[in-house]
């Protein structure tokens, strides 16, 4: 099985993907545009391994070996011999296009190019390459080492072989996959959480129930681990506004139209836990 992985972007998701892959025995090239970003990414990986070692769920020598399998670099040419490349940069189609165009010219023709996008249709990303059949969505969840799901997304031209490679990779790093057969904006997971958060926000905005009660309804009534408004605060109201706006623009489906309250919260900087204030105060 293919064993050399390249990860483009060493932010929250890219560093997490590099972390679990190196731990599973993959040789990883982690590429970002600045040394500063790479330092942040590798520091986060080291801190996470240290935590597992401290808890006794990972041996110190395994953590050292995993770290040694990660090469952090700003040099894109270093990814040329990868079997699989996963892109995890900002959620902007133009940036992803630029990267996929460069990767297509650089990596072996049989290599698979994957994106960790949470909402952009894979077909749109693949259009920047001459190998759309070898482009696939491999959508991890945050925090990557803890969340067991990977959403595999087929673009219009993604081949069965490419999907199988993506599944083999995701399972090799200990994840369970779901398959999205048509790359609708937001796929399955982002559509579900967006629809729930939009409706929860509308109920709260119009005074039907308090934030606490809306979240309790989902926790105690449906067995959700977390209510939708607390989830929005954790993920970032800004991130969810962006996601639901993208789905709405693409689908014109009214249920994804972002509520005014979400827009105003983002305008005011009340974007959730990271700002200290969202639907709740932290």
Ligand X SMILES: NC(=O)c1ccc[n+]([C@@H]2O[C@H](COP(=O)([O-])OP(=O)(O)OC[C@H]3O[C@@H](n4cnc5c(N)ncnc54)[C@H](O)[C@@H]3O)[C@@H](O)[C@H]2O)c1
Q: Does 217 bind ligand X (CB under 6 A)?
A: no
Piece of 3-11, 196-204, 215-223, 268-276 that binds ligand X (CB under 6 A): 3-11
Two structure tokens written together for 138: 């491999």
Q: What's the closest the beta carbon of residue 106 comes to ligand X, in angstroms?
A: 12
Q: Does 79 bind ligand X (CB under 6 A)?
A: no
User: Which residue of 18, 99, 112, 198 would you call a contact of ligand X, by CB under 6 A?
Assistant: 99
206 belongs to an annotated ligand binding site: no
Q: Does 11 bind ligand X (CB under 6 A)?
A: yes
Q: Does 183 bind ligand X (CB under 6 A)?
A: no
Piece of 56-64, 113-121, 200-208, 223-231 that binds ligand X (CB under 6 A): 113-121
Q: What's the closest the beta carbon of residue 36 comes to ligand X, in angstroms?
A: 9
Q: What's the closest the beta carbon of residue 38 comes to ligand X, in angstroms?
A: 8
Q: Does 22 bind ligand X (CB under 6 A)?
A: no
Q: What's the closest the beta carbon of residue 140 comes to ligand X, in angstroms?
A: 6
55 belongs to an annotated ligand binding site: yes
118 belongs to an annotated ligand binding site: yes
Q: Does 117 bind ligand X (CB under 6 A)?
A: yes
Calpha distance 79→14 (Å, rounded): 14
Q: Which single residue is written with the structure tokens 């698979």?
A: 112
SS (HEC) of the chain: CCCEEEEECCCHHHHHHHHHHHHCCCEEEEECCCHHHHHHHHHHHHHHHHHHHHHCCCCHHHHHHHHHCEEEECCHHHHCCCCEEEECCCCCHHHHHHHHHHHHHHCCCCCEEEECCCCCCHHHHHCCCCCHHHEEEEECCCCCCCCCEEEEEECCCCCHHHHHHHHHHHHHCCCEEEEECCCCCCCCHHHHHHHHHHHHHHHHHCCCCCHHHHHHHHHHHHCCCCCHHHHHHHHCHHHHHHHHHHHHHHHCCHHHCCCHHHHHHHHHCCCEHHHCECCCEC
Site string for ligand X, 139-178 (x = CB under 6 A): xxxx------------------------------------
Q: Does 123 bind ligand X (CB under 6 A)?
A: no
Q: Does 90 bind ligand X (CB under 6 A)?
A: yes
CB-nearer residue toward ligand X: 184 or 209: 184
Binding site for ligand X (CB under 6 A): 8-14, 31-33, 37, 88-91, 95, 99, 116-118, 139-142
């Amino acid at each position: 099985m293919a064993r050399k992985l390249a990860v483009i972007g060493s932010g929250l998701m890219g560093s997490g993907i590099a972390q679990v892959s190196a731990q599973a025995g993959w040789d990883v090239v982690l590429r970002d545009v600045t040394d500063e970003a790479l330092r942040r990414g590798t520091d986060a990986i080291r801190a996470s391994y240290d935590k597992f070692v401290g808890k006794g769920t990972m041996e110190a020598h395994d953590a050292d070996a995993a770290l040694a399998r990660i090469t952090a670099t700003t040099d894109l040419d270093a990814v040329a011999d990868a079997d699989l490349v996963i892109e995890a940069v900002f959620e902007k189609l133009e940036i992803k296009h630029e990267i996929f165009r460069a990767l297509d010219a650089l990596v072996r023709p049989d290599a698979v190019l994957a994106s960790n996008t949470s909402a952009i249709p894979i077909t749109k990303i693949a259009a920047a390459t001459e190998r759309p059949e070898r482009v696939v969505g491999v959508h991890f969840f945050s925090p990557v080492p803890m969340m067991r799901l990977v959403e595999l997304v087929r673009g219009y031209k993604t081949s069965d072989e490419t999907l199988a490679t993506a599944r083999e990779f995701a399972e090799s790093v200990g994840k369970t996959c779901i398959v999205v057969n048509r790359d609708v904006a937001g796929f399955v997971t982002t559509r579900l959480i967006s629809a729930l958060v939009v409706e929860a926000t509308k109920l709260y905005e119009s005074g039907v129930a308090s934030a606490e009660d809306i979240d309790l309804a989902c926790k105690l009534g449906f067995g959700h681990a977390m209510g939708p408004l607390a989830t929005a605060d954790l993920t970032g109201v800004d991130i969810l506004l962006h996601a639901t706006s993208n789905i709405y623009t693409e689908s014109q489906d009214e249920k994804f139209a972002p509520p005014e309250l979400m827009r105003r919260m983002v305008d005011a900087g009340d974007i959730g836990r990271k700002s200290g204030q969202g639907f709740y105060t932290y």
